[in-house]
Each structure stands twice: as C-alpha cells, then as structure tokens.
Structure 1
Amino acid sequence: MPLLARAGRIRGGKPVTNAVLTVDGLVKHFPIRSGVLQRQTGTVQAVNNVSFEVNHGETLSLVGESGCGKSTVAKSIMRFHQPTAGRVLLNGTDLAGLSAREIRTLRKQVQFVFQDPYASLPARMPVGEIIAEPLEIHRIGNRRVRKERVRELLEVVGLGAEVLNRYPHQFSGGQRQRVGIARALALEPTLLILDEPVSALDVSIQAQVVNLLDRLQRELSVAYLFISHDLAVVRHLTHRVAVMYLGHIVEYGDADEVFNRPTHPYTQALLSAVPNPDPHLRGRGHRIVLHGDLPNPSDPPSGCPFRTRCWKAQERCETERPRLEQRVADSGSSACHFAEPSTHSVSSRT
C-alpha cells in the first residue's frame, strides 16, 4: 500500500479513543553500585509511577527540565531499559513477559527518532541503505520493492530520490533529521517516539522539521510521543501535555488547558520563561525564577517532589505527596495541594 494512501486524522476533528500506547504506573530505578564487589549502595529514582495514554493520530508531549526522566520513560517503553515496575501496552499488547523475538516483532509498530541527527545515522552508509535497513531487518519485500519504498519515503520527507546514494556528511542537520524520520516511517509504525527531535537544529530549521511532522501526522494518522524541553515547539504540535518533574508527572491535560491555564507552580514557572515572539509584548509578563537546584533523584525530598523550590510550599507539602488529579474546574490534572490557575500562556514560534 502506498504510504500516503493511509487515512489521516484531521486535527480538531472527532478524537480517536482507542489507545496505541498505554503506560500504567511505570517505574524505573537504577542501582548505584560501589566498591570492589559492586554492592548496591543506593538507588536513582529516575521514573516514579508515570501513567498516560497516546491515542491513534494524536500527539502527547512529555516536557520538563533535563534530568526529569523524559528520555528514561521513552527508553523504558522501547525496552532499551527494563522497567522496574508498571505496564506498557502497545496496541493492546502488554510488553511484560514477551521474549526478545516477540518484542522485536512489535517494534515494527513503534519507531524512535533520536535527538542528534549527526550521531544517529551511520556515517559509512548511503542514505538509501540507511532507510532500507529496517525493511531488510524485518525481511519486507525484495530489493526492488525496498528501493521503491525508499524513493517514496524520501519524497514524503521532502528530499527527493536523487539523494539515494549520498552519505550523511553531505547533508545539513535538518536534512539528516529528515532522513531519520524517513527511516522511522519505513515500517509504517502506528507510533513515533520523538526524543528532542529538533533541539540540535537552528531555529529556522526547527520550524521546517516541526511543520513536516505536523503534515505527516495529518496524512499518515501516526501518533507521536514528543519529548522536549522547548514549550514553544511543543505548543505548535501537541494535543495533550504531561509535565514531568523529578520522575513524576505533575500536570497533565489538553494542550489548551495546560498552556493557557496552568495550575501547577512548576508548569507556571516553565511557561513564564518562554520568550514572547511578539516584540511589542516582550517583558510584560511576570517571570517566575526558581531558586535552588533540581534535587538528587537518589535522595528525593519527602512529600511533594517540587516543594524544595516552590514558593507555595507549606508543612503539608513536606509530609503528604499530592496525587495527580483535577483540582480546578476547566483545567487538567495537577499534583499540587494548592493548585490554582495562572494566566501564563505560550504561543508557538514556528
């Protein structure tokens, strides 16, 4: 079937309710070992009780500071890391207990686009072979069929079949990321995990790649799990947002709810730091400056994980960890005892 023959989902249309990905109570801890015998002396709590769904044809964005656990969630979903606890369901299939061969087969349904377009492509392979490699690994089609598929994919991502025999060093960063996207689409996955896919690119090139991803989603009905710290980029593409802090989801909801009426102090601080693209409005918003460093995930604070940097923290926050639930009408879920809406909002710069 031609790639573009698949029906697309139009943004703003009737949402699809069946989930392509379900993450339920995901936990990932890494042991700290020391000494000659490498005995475990501690634990890095990278991800703690993370739950969300990604529906067919939609984008869920995981956002937060570096080190909050976003990429660990993605790698645990792909089984690059074995989860400590929790469930991951891909199109209804629980990945727990599956053999390596069974997981390899399921990986056709979910593909990864990496952050660095310079390091993620083999330097000694022409792009035609790079894009065809997933087809060869999964034994799809003969050589002629695979070559036609590669040509089609290159056209879809805006490069053209004339670049088949070029090597990665002959491309710009944005073009390399297009090659990476073409490789990820080769197996017609239902889900793409995009781990900071534009953070290594210039701003103008970021806009081109984000617009490409937007078009591909509408044409191919592919779902995205979009991982980023750049809220302006996320705003342009996402349907729902999960804000992470120190391995926990602290706010979760529809994009308009989270970006226009954030209720968790951490989300409000993140949004206040985003520059306004309108030069006439710059400097008018209230900038929230967080004091102190991100706590050590091997020794997290008691109660609310954000309390050591929160201006609203009270005694209750030290003893009781807030649950992620809806606390304000017409807003998303928030893990804050004292959640209240803010007027901070973000416009896309793309």
Structure 2
Amino acid sequence: MSAELLRVEGLVKHFPIRGGVLQRRRGTVHAVEGVSFTVAAGETLALVGESGCGKSTVGRTIMRFHEPTGGTVTFDGTDLSTLSTAQLRQKRRELQFVFQDPYASLPARMPAGDIVAEPLHIHGVGDRAGRRARVRELFDLVGLPAQAVSRYPHEFSGGQRQRIGIARALALEPRLLILDEPVSALDVSIQAQVVNLLARLQRELGLAYLFIAHDLAVVRHLAHQVAVMYLGHIVEYGDADTVFTRPAHPYTQALLSAVPVPDPRLRDPARRRLLQGDLPNPADPPSGCPFRTRCWRADDRCAAERPALRVRTPSGADTACHYAEEDARNEGARLSG
C-alpha cells in the first residue's frame, strides 16, 4: 500500500450570485458539497462526472485558485489552507496543474522553450545554461524534438501543445499532478497518445495523479481509484476494478452504459441506462438525493433523505444510494443461485 500524499476532507466551495446596482447577494451556487478522498503516492485517482458536476472546481480549490468555503486539503501532512502566499508558492513546486485547453493555457507570444522554463525562472532554479539544459531534457521526456524550443504555440498541434503543458508542469519535479480533463479537447487518436505518455511518466517518475475527466473510457487503464461526482457530491468511490466491473450507484451505471462498445455483439441491452433530463441547477439543488430527479429508482425516501457515502456492497465500494446494499444482496443471491 502506497503512502498517502493528498487528503481532501469535507471540501466545500460555494460561489455567491450577485445582482442589481449594489451587487447584493441573491443566491449561492453549491459547486462542491463535502467532498472527501485521498490520493496515494505514485497512484491515480480519477475524478469523473458530466460537465457541471463540480469536478474541475475541486481541482482548482485544492490548488487554491479558488479559496475553499469549508473543509481541509492536506498535502504530504501540510494543511494547504493554513499557508501564506509565499509558503503556498513554495509548496506548489510539489503540486502542479495541467489545464484542459492546450490552446488557451499557453502564452501565445512566448516560445515553447521559454514557456517550459518559466517555472524554473520564477522559483530561481539553476542558471541560464542549466535551465536551457533542463528544458531540452523535458522536451525529450514528453516526446517533443529539441529544435521545437524556439517555436511558438500556434505552430504546434493540439496534442503537442498539451505535451508542452505537461512539460511545464514537470519542470519543478512535482510529486502530484492535477490533470483537468487533459485530453478532452484532443482527437481520439491523440487522446490515446497523451494517456500513454502520462502512464509512462507515472512509471518512470513515480508521479501521483488526480485525473479529472468526464469520459470513463479515458481513465479506465490509468486509474487505481475512481470517485464519481454528481452535482457537487461524490456518489461512488472505490478501487477502479470494482467501480468499472460492479458499479453500485445508478449514476455510475448510466455513465458506464454510455461508453461506446466497439463490437455490437458485446452490448448488453439489459444493462443499458439512459439518463433523462439535464443536471439540476447547483444554485437550487433538489432535496434529498441529488440524483433523484434523473434516477429510475427514485421514491419518496430519496426526496426526503440524502444518502450518505458509505460502504454498502460486499466489494467494499463506497456508494451514496439507499438501494445499493439491497441491489448487492440481490446480485449475490442471483450469482450463488
């Protein structure tokens, strides 16, 4: 068992809604509501869910791009919320962020080599010759030619730009990367290349990843643990094999049933779950279970009582569903019979 590197406990992030001439507060967006998880050294936690569920806000709040409304974020034994600006800046050498959009996340007027060298310059690492050597090393590490250091971002493809972003994040030799949908803006063939690159970097450098994604198929072969988010809450959390093969929460089942199956003969219509409607407004979340407005199993209990995230299945997965335990018993009886 790897040592724990990141612990998030009860993380909450609310955004005020303001309006009128005096910009008075008129409401609150409940972006993240009591999220808890851990990331072990050298392993990957995939944080998945559809757009608008709050997963990117979790990543940005961990980095303190957004200040948390509540909860704690502990990195390698240090509570990040207690750090001063200078202390946080120093800690970010070990904790880096890769942004979703490789087109918007790179300065258009800086050569690629200067972009990758910028963290070294900001933190005063090495002299000019040492930084140039480090940039060449990083370009080779992410699969970019050395001569590309003088080219500008518009001269690269989307996949190459994301490799530049990854090289920049690796410049200070971090221990954890927060990857905010790093392949969602890329073509499918390029997605596979970048995911394979991340897998290789993890093996070679011992990196830990918080991999934020909406596509379960992308993270399946990279994740050690999976946390499924819906409307600011984690609704299922467990090891990747359990979540992918025996999903207990209806929302996880729906997400997995939406993953394309290359061979139509392998499709199981009995397990097909189609979600109806849209994600509710996080400024006016439903009572009880946040998923009940789209769940085929919802009843009065779901409207009145929000299920806690706890171990409900023999496999050990944590699930926030009133009926997950009953379903597990029925499945066990079916298999034993």
Both proteins in one fold, TM over 0.5: yes
2:181 to 184, 196, 215: 196
Residues 21, 53 of structure 1: 8 Å contact kept:
yes
Code of the aligned partner of 2:210: L
Partner of 1:162: 147
| TM-score after normalising by structure 2 | 0.95
1:89 to 74, 98, 121: 74
Partner of 1:77: 62
Identity of aligned residues (%): 70
Partner of 1:244: 229
- Post-superposition shift, 1:284? 4.9
Code of the aligned partner of 2:176: L
Partner of 1:8: none
Give distance in 2, aligned partners of 1:252 and 1:64. Answer: 12
Partner of 2:8: 23
Give distance in 1, aligned partners of 2:212 and 2:77. Answer: 22
Code of the aligned partner of 1:301: P
Q: Bigger CA drift: 267-276 or 278-287?
A: 278-287
- Post-superposition shift, 1:295? 1.0
1:122 to 107, 115, 118: 107
- CA displacement 1:117-172 (0-9 Å, x = unmatched): 11111111111101000000000000011111001011111112121111111111
- CA displacement 1:225-274 (0-9 Å, x = unmatched): 00000110110210000000000000000000000000000000110111
| TM-score after normalising by structure 1 | 0.91
Give distance in 2, aligned partners of 1:39 and 1:287. Answer: 46
Give distance in 2, aligned partners of 1:171 and 1:41. Answer: 44
Give distance in 2, aligned partners of 1:49 and 1:283. Answer: 35
> RMSD of the TM alignment (CA)?
1.4
- Post-superposition shift, 1:97? 2.6
Greater helix percent: which structure? 2
Give the 3-state SS of the residue equivalent to 2:184 in structure 1.
coil
Q: Would you say 1:235 and 2:226 are equivalent positions? A: no
- Post-superposition shift, 1:319? 1.2
Q: Would you say 1:132 and 2:117 are equivalent positions? A: yes
Q: Would you say 1:178 and 2:163 are equivalent positions? A: yes
How many residue pairs are counted as aligned between the two chains? 328
- Post-superposition shift, 1:278? 2.9
- Post-superposition shift, 1:283? 6.6
- Post-superposition shift, 1:20? 1.5
Give distance in 2, aligned partners of 1:174 and 1:168. Answer: 11
Partner of 1:310: 295
Give distance in 2, aligned partners of 1:37 and 1:318. Answer: 36
Give distance in 2, aligned partners of 1:163 and 1:145. Answer: 18
Partner of 1:7: none
- CA displacement 1:270-329 (0-9 Å, x = unmatched): 101111133542475632111122111111111111111111112111111111011110
- CA displacement 1:96-135 (0-9 Å, x = unmatched): 2321111111111111111111111111111110100000
Code of the aligned partner of 1:229: H
Give distance in 1, aligned partners of 2:301 and 2:268. Answer: 34
1:296 to 281, 300, 306: 281
Give the 3-state SS of the residue equivalent to 1:209 in structure 2.
helix
